[in-house]
Chains A and B, each alone.
Chain A
Amino acid sequence: MNHDYAVDVEDLTKRFGRFTAVDHIDFSVRRGEIFGFLGANGAGKTTTIRMLCGILLPSDGKGSVAGYSIMTQSERIKQVIGYMSQRFSLYSDLTVRENMEFFGGTYGLKNQKLKNRIERVTDLYGIGDFLDQLTGDIPLGWKQRVGLASATLHDPQILFLDEPTSGVDPSARRQFWQTIYQLARGSGTTIFVTTHYLEEAEYCDRAAIMHKGTILDLDTPASLKSRYSKSNMEDVFVHVIREHEGELTV
């Protein structure tokens, strides 16, 4: 396995009973890359992320994240990754600051160091006004930013974002992606992001089209569009899926 890759996966498979949610997928993500996973509901995006983050054991295949094996070194992996899920998952009865103090604490951050980190992400994401409000009381768009702030407190090498913008209005989504962009370009954080807003693929360096557990195509948005001679990613996506389903029914 090549250790220059932030994520490197071979034949990764997950079966739930008879059902195969992720079916022998291969891909690699370079360090510092923004890597997108596009797919409809049930495509297997979340399942893949869960395996990469070390909270779900693959049924088959192998993979490494930040050079650590996802089979045997999940404890090491957890130290160097950040994760934010499609379901907002901070404690709504705690203030923003308390949430950050807590999650920072689980990474062993404390005292002055913890304070400094909280100050830094607060400035970076502009969430100073909300620090002492209960997390449950702030608007959804801001919650996503707070989630991002909390997921990056410990300076992760790789950030996994599972449908981070789902349910957020378009302008907040644009802002969110700008922040992600800064994060990747500014501090070299690798971003692994899933989405079913296909136009968001334009923000990615490379994107994989996932369908029923398999990866149908993987390339930069520009060359995907030119290869299928489409003007936007939505058309590319629809085309690729149609082609695939056509093959199956013939």
Chain B
Amino acid sequence: MISGIWTIAKKEGLHIRRDPRSIAMMFLLPLLMMMLYGYAINMDVKNVKIGVIDHDWSPESREVVSRFDGSEFFSVHRYYPSRDEVRKAIESGAIKGALIIPADFSVRIGRGKNPPIQAIIDGSDSNTGKIMQAGMQQILGSVVFGAGNLPVLFTVEPRVWYNPDMEGVNFIVPGLVAVFLMMIATILTSITIAREKETGTMTQLRLSPAGPAQIIIGKVLPYTFLAFMVGSLMLVFALLYYRVPFYGSPWLLAGLSIAFLLASLSIGLLASTVANSQQVAMAGGLLGTMLPSIILSGFIFPIRSMPQVLQWVSTVIPAKYFLEIIRGIMLKDIGIQYLLGQLFALLLFTLIVLAISTIRFRRQMRI
């Protein structure tokens, strides 16, 4: 059994080595996507329109507003009388955020206290939101009023609407890793089997004493390893280039990603029992994994704000669970005890999909 698996895996390794262009693509494409993503961030954030609610209407409050208006980050769109008006303006897209200056702003500056300014950020666009947050902090931190000789510092309490967990890059990058891992594992698996059907070597393989389990495990192993390498590379890139923090245990993440990879691979196997050509396998794999993983997993759109039906659908998207795992471990250092539910969901998913594909595979083996 073991030596049979090893024989298949070794052969699969040869195929991979003979096709350096595909490997290069597999490693470069994710990095390219991550770079593009970073480029998009830097482009986006200039002269973002914000609104102001000024309850104080003092020289001090106007000074703050003019600092914002004068910065390259923001331009002040207009003043609003109430939060309701601000909310409507954000919903309509007229502004991306607002500053609320409390009524006692100048009075408290006079007393040498730190008066809080509330910042509201439209969290539905988390890239911009993240940058806005940093920009506001930077501007408010630089505003210094002379009260005696004491500098007064501001406290920013950003309230993020629509996407309260927004973490910007930190949030998106682990998501990218999840989506790519899933895509690579699924597509490679389905293509490797479809290719053998297409060229006729599958028949030869089935005629050899290697059993279905050996064939499948032997084929899956090298690609799991590859997907692992790609995932690790993406993470290292994220840590170095975007300085995304990694608070939790890399070992826990590595272990749980195996569960996620298994789920992805099982989808690939299922696709391969349907597809007879590499193109179909590729297209099916892309549609079946990439779109749901991007749209329904919480990668970009928070699940909480989806319509109820889509929320139900999201419970059968493996990427949703892996996103919770990778974000939880990297950003919040949560332990295995909080991730058992996700682990269980991934394993259950794998088991069900694997059962369906094995039944289909067996049936095709001997019609």
When each residue 162-181 of chain B gets 1 if its CB lies under 8 Å from chain A and 0 otherwise, what string results?
00000000000000000000
Q: Is there an interface contact between A91 and B207, defined as CB atoms closer than 8 Å?
A: no
Q: Is there an interface contact between B204 and A85, defined as CB atoms closer than 8 Å?
A: yes
How many A-B contacts are there with CB distance less than 8 Å?
74
Taking CB atoms, residues of chain B closer than 8 Å to A93 are 14-15, 18-19
Using a CB-CB cutoff of 8 Å, which residues 57-91 of chain A contact chain B? Answer: 57, 74-75, 78-79, 81, 83, 85, 87-91
Beyond A53-B207, A55-B207, A90-B204, 17 extra complex contacts between A and B, CB < 8 Å: A16-B367, A55-B206, A55-B365, A56-B367, A57-B367, A78-B208, A78-B209, A85-B200, A85-B203, A89-B204, A91-B199, A93-B18, A105-B11, A106-B7, A106-B8, A106-B205, A110-B3
Taking CB atoms, residues of chain B closer than 8 Å to A200 are none
Cβ of B22 to closest chain A Cβ, rounded Å: 11
Q: Does B201 contact A (CB under 8 A)?
A: yes
Taking CB atoms, residues of chain B closer than 8 Å to A10 are none
Taking CB atoms, residues of chain A closer than 8 Å to B201 are 89-91
Q: Does B210 contact A (CB under 8 A)?
A: yes
Taking CB atoms, residues of chain A closer than 8 Å to B18 are 93-94
The chain B residue sitting closest to A95, CB to CB, is B14
Interface size on B, residues (CB 8 A): 25
Cβ of B203 to closest chain A Cβ, rounded Å: 6
A and B contact pairs by CB, cutoff 8 A, 14 listed: A55-B203, A55-B365, A56-B367, A85-B200, A85-B204, A89-B201, A93-B18, A94-B15, A94-B18, A98-B11, A105-B11, A106-B208, A106-B209, A106-B210
Taking CB atoms, residues of chain B closer than 8 Å to A177 are none
Cβ of B297 to closest chain A Cβ, rounded Å: 35
In the bound complex, how far is the Cα of B204 from the Cα of A89, in angstroms? 7
Taking CB atoms, residues of chain B closer than 8 Å to A85 are 200, 203-204
Q: Does B366 contact A (CB under 8 A)?
A: yes
Partner of A57, one of B4, B8, B204, B366: B366
Task: Name, among B199, B201, B206, B208, the residue most crowded by chain A CB atoms within 10 Å (CB to CB).
Answer: B208
Q: Is there an interface contact between B200 and A89, defined as CB atoms closer than 8 Å?
A: yes
The chain A residue sitting closest to B11, CB to CB, is A102
When each residue 146-161 of chain B gets 1 if its CB lies under 8 Å from chain A and 0 otherwise, what string results?
0000000000000000
Interface size on A, residues (CB 8 A): 29
In the bound complex, how far is the Cα of B209 from the Cα of A88, in angstroms? 19
Q: Does A103 contact B (CB under 8 A)?
A: yes
Cβ of A28 to closest chain B Cβ, rounded Å: 22
A-B CB proximity, top 8 nearest: A105-B7, A106-B208, A87-B200, A89-B204, A89-B200, A57-B366, A93-B18, A106-B210
Task: Name, among B8, B10, B14, the residue most crowded by chain A CB atoms within 10 Å (CB to CB).
Answer: B14
Q: Is there an interface contact between A88 and B200, defined as CB atoms closer than 8 Å?
A: yes
Cβ of B208 to closest chain A Cβ, rounded Å: 4
* Interface of B: prevailing SS: helix
Taking CB atoms, residues of chain A closer than 8 Å to B366 are 54-57, 74
* Interface of A: prevailing SS: loop
Taking CB atoms, residues of chain B closer than 8 Å to A54 are 207, 366
Using a CB-CB cutoff of 8 Å, which residues 32-57 of chain A contact chain B? Answer: 53-57
The chain B residue sitting closest to A110, CB to CB, is B3
Taking CB atoms, residues of chain A closer than 8 Å to B7 are 102, 105-106
Taking CB atoms, residues of chain A closer than 8 Å to B199 are 89, 91-92
Partner of A98, one of B8, B14, B207, B365: B14
Q: Does A27 contact B (CB under 8 A)?
A: no
In the bound complex, how far is the Cα of B203 from the Cα of A134, in angstroms? 21
Q: Is there an interface contact between B207 and A108, defined as CB atoms closer than 8 Å?
A: no
Q: Does A228 contact B (CB under 8 A)?
A: no
Task: Name, among B7, B10, B205, the residue most crowded by chain A CB atoms within 10 Å (CB to CB).
Answer: B7
Cβ of A143 to closest chain B Cβ, rounded Å: 13
Cβ of A80 to closest chain B Cβ, rounded Å: 10
Cβ of A163 to closest chain B Cβ, rounded Å: 12
Taking CB atoms, residues of chain B closer than 8 Å to A79 are 209
Q: Is there an interface contact between B11 and A94, defined as CB atoms closer than 8 Å?
A: yes
Q: Does A197 contact B (CB under 8 A)?
A: no
Q: Is there an interface contact between A107 and B14, defined as CB atoms closer than 8 Å?
A: no
Taking CB atoms, residues of chain B closer than 8 Å to A108 are 3-4, 209
In the bound complex, how far is the Cα of B14 from the Cα of A93, in angstroms? 8
Cβ of B5 to closest chain A Cβ, rounded Å: 11
Task: Name, among A56, A74, A103, A106, the residue most crowded by chain B CB atoms within 10 Å (CB to CB).
Answer: A106
